[in-house]
Structure 1
Amino acid sequence: MLDEIITQIKNEFEKDIQEADSFKKLEEIRIKYLARNGSVTLLFDKLKEASKEEKPLLGKKLNELRNSVTEKFNSKKELLEKSETSSKEFIDLTLPGRTVKTGSKHILTQTLEEIKQIFKSMGFSVFEGPELESDYYNFEALNFPADHPARDMQDTFFINQKFLLRTHTSPVQIRVMESMQPPVRAIMPGRVYRNEAINARSYCTFQQVEGLYVDTDVTFAELKGTLVSFAKQFYGNSLKYRFRPSFFPFTEPSAEMDITCFICNGKGCRICKNSGWLEILGCGMVDPNVLKYVNYDSEKFVGYAFGMGIERIALLKYGINDIRLFFENDLRFLRQF
């Protein structure tokens, strides 16, 4: 008798659960079958009336019935919840529009374009050259002795004995002078490579802008005036600067230009090595030996040259304390510019 009731309740539940199309009907089914006075729950009370021989089999069937009813009830509930959620999806036309983020030029590209614009306004033309250079253009024609430290593997990425990744854009100066006669007034932007340790101040690859002016009656005072004019246009008229004697194989005399560290305002920090000053470029009068390599009359023509690193210039311009930030492609950093 109990076995027939189990079958009957199972059939009735199957019909009811299929017809349930709302949470209200689903709740009615739960009360009818699974509540404390539900038909499935009450069957367990009737199990006491069965004989000892029937109890094991009937108990098994009752457990299967309860598990089946519970599982199908939960499945139906999930189905209705998904249906309810999708039916509520709509477009709220009163919401403000979403801002579309557009890309922008990298901060180094912006810095380079500003530098180029300043020098172009002074009458400089722009030239470029290959990044894979020969030893002749990168060293020999620039008056580097054969035993100069820059030729050592610790500083330079050599491809073989004759070719290397250029360590500066000065080779473009040689190529420009080979292709034209004075007066020559040009800047040479480009990427260069140095076999150096990566830290907050230096990187194994960076960008440079070098400049060259060759003509008659060119003076060191004109070189200083050009560079000070550039620095004030780029950093502002309140800029503090100084020139220090230095040495470069391809210029004589040579100097380095420093400006007050913008990071610490001259108080000293890790970027300026606690000196309060930071070098932004090297410069000098073109060595007569370099002019001879390009078949210029060194008795008639004289010139000056200078070179600066774009990353170093940008560090000071925007108050950035780590050169590695330029190369990490972190959008949180790049979107600031």
Structure 2
Amino acid sequence: MTFLAYRVTETESGMTATWESREDDQLPAGDVLIDVQYSSVNYKDALSASGNKGVTRAFPHTPGIDAAGVVVSSTDAAFKAGDEVVVFGYDLGMNTEGGYGQRIRVPSAWVLAKPAGISAAETMAWGTAGFTAALSVQKLERAGMQPSKGPVIVTGATGGVGSVAVALLAKLGYDVVALSGKAEQEAWLKELGANRVIGRDEVMALKGKAMAKPLYQAALDTVGGDMVSALIPQIMPEGAVSTCGMIAGVKVEASVFPFILRGVSLLGVDSVEIPQAEKQLVLNKAAAEWKLAGLETMTTNVARSELAGILTKVLNGQGVGRYRVDLNAE
């Protein structure tokens, strides 16, 4: 069957991207063939579409690390034609043709069953960014984070991960402090559930301190680098910092004092290679007890013709909230 895919091609003058017709037999080998209805836009998608070889090694390529749709056929009995399914993470959209194609073929171990309590469109309002936020919250709670223990700070709060984290933590009853460099988004962040919005300077002023006044029971970091270094000394005893991004850098410098004198934990959050069962658990939560009533208000719908512009916006750090791609909208 013929379908459309957003193909990124490397040329002598740089990267080009166009929607092209493809055939099923041009897809990679796999167990499950899926008609993709929706995808989403994440920073990793923007990197792939820009030709970043750290994300995607070979071009032409179809990005899109998320996909939601319907099974066309499956060689694995766990899935059958007509099943509504979701794929996020693993190698999808990195070096395997991704969700910016109206069809994908993937291993069955990558495929999740869409729960009844959530629509395909809603799953892609979450997308990898939203599920990473959920995984971060889950990991922090397993480390002892509780609403009664004090404020939780979220960095990069206007981004895809950060905005969902703010909304989810607020739903769960936490006192949320949103950190953002976009002062004009303060009202929006408070609508999502933040009790207070602060700028980067308020946290970064303490970078280099071995210990500082303990202000937060936990930090949900989405940017990495110096931000993590600055937050660690400000965490309360037995608190934790989770980190899942690296847009602010890949190196963290910290004294051992917060770890050995306050028992602070530093938690890495992986949303790519975690087991299928763990991903299904988080997706099920998103459809039930963690369902976000305001998710649509923080989500911008993107038609095929708008995708290139949104990818550039996200790559340049100008994205706000979540972006859902409708593969059937021109």
Smaller-chain TM-score bracket: under 0.3
Q: Greater share of helix residues, 1 or 2?
A: 1
Q: Greater share of strand residues, 1 or 2?
A: 2
Q: TM-score, normalised by structure 2?
A: 0.19
Structure of higher CA gyration radius: 1
